[in-house]
Amino acid sequence: MSPAGAPGPGPLSTAEIISLCDRHLLKNVGRLPLALTRGKGLKVWDAEGKEYLDFIAGIAVCAFGHSPDFMAEELERQARALIHVSNLFYNEPMARLAELLTRASGLDRAFFSNSGAEANEAALKMARKHGRDRSGGKRFRIVSAIGSFHGRTMGAISVTGQPGLHEGFQPLLPGVTFVPFGDLDALDKAVDDTACCVFLEPVQGEGGVLPAPPGYLQKAAEIARSRGALLVLDEVQTGLGRTGEDFAFRHFGVKPDILTLGKALGCGYPVGATLSTEEAGAALTPGTHSTTVGGAPLAMAVSLALATRLLDKAFLASVAETGRHFFSELAALAEKFPQAVEEPRGLGLMLGLKLKVPAAPAAKKLLERGFIVNATADTVLRFVPPLTVTREEIGLLVRALSEVLAEEKPEG
């Protein structure tokens, strides 16, 4: 049940919470009929006290699971010292986090915002201004990938390669060209002397947990830089350990000119970061971009505590090992249920299981069994659990998933 001391006259039931939300919230999000009130590690509980194992971790956000003690302690410690001062002043946690992230990534400069989408907005402005400054205004086009997802703000959605998400919001940001993900010929043709950047995800998350093909990102960097454009990598979902490396670009032997982070950087606290080379970052001079709350001491202190742990080499090695085990378990399911499963996908603990049937019904059946996963790209079950997930917990999911897949029949 809800913990003692919860706000309001008393704990509400699931039905009451849903009713209250339905009366007062915008209808812009489709939610599951589940009201979660408490969490610890991989586990969450609803308003009636039913337990679930959360294998999406707030959509790849809760890297250390729900309500880690060290995070709560750091939030309290910093809240008692200094919460917010605005971007008019320096603060120590911001300085230390910038140092940590730039050193770890090999990039030079950092800008802090409040979400992954905002990090991408900063990257878009940086890339476009960098291009215009060096071409007399000629270089402004952004080349992105079909199937990509970069956020819901107007700039971020404009470079998101999913037409269904554009409906009703046109005209979007002009000067965006989409090419098939992994198609080097199409990319080569799209990047000319009017392009300011190539904007890609190392692994397309919402696009179906699709890693970039071998050699693709390296060649994309070569194509972009040979024509005066920048390579921007959106690592909002893949960054900070999710793939078993500190940054997913390590898997592909390439380093971006601009890198965006979010999700695990705050583990539920709203934080985003845009990292860049010295040259790319120089485009954003004083007055060209900012945010009032970005870089606030409270956000920076908790992010510093999180990032220090996420970038620990032993921790990253354990994530990679657990990810290999999880992938092998999914591969075994693909062999066992060829009528229902096409293939496992992903890197580290960013994994997907592509089905030969719609994925949403399978996700619903798993939820009924007490496991939270989600369906993406119509036929893919996505698994992005806390990076602290154990083999035993994975085993519980795999057994439940085996039961679900045994019931599935291919379409047609």
Range of the domain at 137: 71-310
Q: Are residues 196 and 248 in the same domain?
A: yes
Domain boundary among 285, 310, 335: 310
Q: Are residues 15 and 112 in the same domain?
A: no
Whether residue 377 is contained in a domain is answered as no
Whether residue 330 is contained in a domain is answered as no
What single DSSP character describes residue 271? Answer: -
User: What pTM, to 2 d.p., does this model score?
Assistant: 0.95
Domain boundary among 310, 334, 368: 310
Q: Are residues 123 and 79 in the same domain?
A: yes
- Whole-number Å distance between alpha carbons of 243 and 171: 35
Domain boundary among 310, 338, 356: 310
Q: How far does the chain reach from its first CA to its final CA, in angstroms?
A: 45
Closest by CA to 319, choosing from 385, 267, 387, is 387
Which two three-digit tokens encode residue 63? 């890297």
User: Mind listing the pLDDT tens digit of every residue in the chain (412 residues)?
Assistant: 444 444 445 589 999 999 999 999 999 999 999 999 999 999 999 999 999 999 999 999 999 999 999 999 999 999 999 999 999 999 999 999 999 999 999 999 999 999 999 999 999 999 999 999 999 889 999 999 999 999 999 999 999 999 999 999 999 999 999 999 999 999 999 999 999 999 999 999 999 999 999 999 999 999 999 999 999 999 999 999 999 999 999 999 999 999 999 999 999 999 999 999 999 999 999 999 999 999 999 999 999 999 999 999 999 999 999 999 999 999 999 999 999 999 999 999 999 999 999 999 999 999 999 999 999 999 999 999 999 999 999 999 999 999 999 987 755 5
Report whether 201 contacts 145 (CB < 8 A): yes
Report whether 244 contacts 220 (CB < 8 A): no
Whether residue 263 is contained in a domain is answered as yes
Q: Are residues 152 and 19 in the same domain?
A: no
Beta carbons within 10 angstroms of residue 99's beta carbon = 12
Which two three-digit tokens encode residue 95? 């300085």
- Whole-number Å distance between alpha carbons of 254 and 217: 7
Q: Are residues 144 and 22 in the same domain?
A: no
Q: How many independent structural domains does the chain possess?
A: 2
Backbone angles phi, psi at 232, to 5 degrees: -110, 125
Q: Are residues 81 and 28 in the same domain?
A: no
User: What sign for the dihedral angle of Cα 301, 302, 304, 309?
Assistant: positive
Whether residue 243 is contained in a domain is answered as yes
Whether residue 372 is contained in a domain is answered as no
Q: What is the CATH number of the domain that holds 84?
A: 3.40.640.10
- Whole-number Å distance between alpha carbons of 46 and 57: 15
Q: Are residues 100 and 10 in the same domain?
A: no
User: What sign for the dihedral angle of Cα 10, 11, 17, 19?
Assistant: negative
Beta bridge partners of 394: none
SS3 category, 277:
coil
